[in-house]
Amino acid sequence: MRAVQLDQFGPAENLKLVDLPILEPIGDEVRIKVEVAGIVFADTQMRRGDYIHLPPLPFVPGREVSGTIEKVGAKVKHLQPGERVMAFIPKGGYAEYALAKEDAVVILPDHVKHSQGIVYLINLRIAYLNYYTFGKTQPNETILIHAGAGGIGTLITQIAKRHADNTVIALSSSDEKAAYCKGNGADYCINYRKTDYVQEVLRITDGEGVDISFNSVGGPTFRTDPLAIRPLGRWVIYGYAAGKDLLEPYETIMPKSLTLSINSVYTVLNREEFRQATDFLMEWLQNEKLDSVSKTFKLEEIVKAHHWIENQRSVGKIAIVL
């Protein structure tokens, strides 16, 4: 099978298109013929060796797949060949075939295309966990969303506007992305490269600050974000795209008595909270208006795809189409 393999941590050019044997599912595994594989910023961190969960080298990156079950292991109980499914896997997604544990697989509803389902497979569950479980967001609160045009930021906005009528302030790195955020439902859209986002947030909130900030960016925003949050507000950190070494809680968090949540989806994968997020995913796929992948790449274009993400060009969800 064709696959993208990483032999050494480093730049995108280390990703190589190779031919590998098709793996056999064992035990509770299923083999999926991949139609669409999601690409996320964390894939670039994993490629650089800067991620909390790193498989041993060499490995095939990619953690999101949507396709059709081709073969099942002997201990699989509820899935069968021919079913259209999606799966969140530790590795192996950038390939024509991928293995997934049965409990990591969700059935794709008949009316949902692979290019739609992959948008929500993990991003919606992370958005749900951030919004409800970690953020404990309440109706009518004002929230700040970093990377508002990204895959997860897009969905936090949609949850906030469709389910709770929150006031949403979305941050982005360009006017194009700000326009996307506006079209996605955000009430205020700030291009932080042109405007001091803290001062703009304080202007919008009459000097009070937001109730919650959802931050996947890190870096310098670890220092500035508390200034944009009201006293006794909440700060939900779920990534560090711009770096993770500037968090100084005693200087910035304690004076405002902020509640801080630094979370990882891996913490809850086998917990009731993730099952609730999966139920929310399935209800969303059945009942909500669905978006499709906004940008696609071929398997042989994976280096270009990683550059696309790292250069902050991505809007919405990007994916490999096989």
Q: What is the pLDDT of residue 81?
A: 99
In angstroms, the CA 4 to CA 94 distance is: 6
Per-residue confidence band for 15, with pLDDT thresholds at 50, 70 and 90: very high
Question: Do 295 and 315 contact (CB within 8 A), yes or no?
Answer: yes
Q: Which pLDDT belongs to residue 65?
A: 99
Average pLDDT over residues 165-193: 97
Q: Tokens standing for 130?
A: 């951030």
Provide the 10 A C-beta neighbour count for residue 113: 16
Looking at residue 321, its amino acid is: V
Q: Which residues pair with 215 in a beta bridge?
A: 237
Token pair 């794709």 is found at 108
Percent of the chain surpassing pLDDT 70 = 98
What's the topology of domain 2-113+292-321?
Answer: Quinone Oxidoreductase; Chain A, domain 1 (3.90.180)
- Three-class SS string for 247-285? CCHHHHCHHHCCEEEECCHHHHCCCHHHHHHHHHHHHHH
Query: Do 114 and 35 meet the contact criterion of CB atoms below 8 Å apart?
Result: yes
Q: Kindly indicate the confidence band of residue 250, based on its pLDDT and cuts at 50, 70 and 90.
A: low
CATH class of domain segment(s) 123-263: alpha beta
Separation between Cα atoms, residue 239 and residue 106, nearest integer Å: 25
Contact 39, 319 (CB under 8 A): yes
Whether the predicted pLDDT of 14 surpasses 80: yes
3 three-class SS: strand
- Residue 302 contacts residue 94 (beta carbons within 8 Å): yes
Average pLDDT of the segment spanning 102-107: 98
In tens, the pLDDT along 180-239 reads: 999 999 999 999 999 999 999 999 999 999 999 999 998 889 889 999 999 999 999 999
pLDDT at residue 54, rounded to an integer: 93
Give pLDDT, residue 312: 82
In contact, 119 and 151? CB cutoff 8 Å: yes
Domain definitions of the chain by residue range: 2-113+292-321, 123-263
Position 140 pLDDT exceeds 80: yes
The pLDDT tens digits for 33-48 are 999 999 999 999 999 9
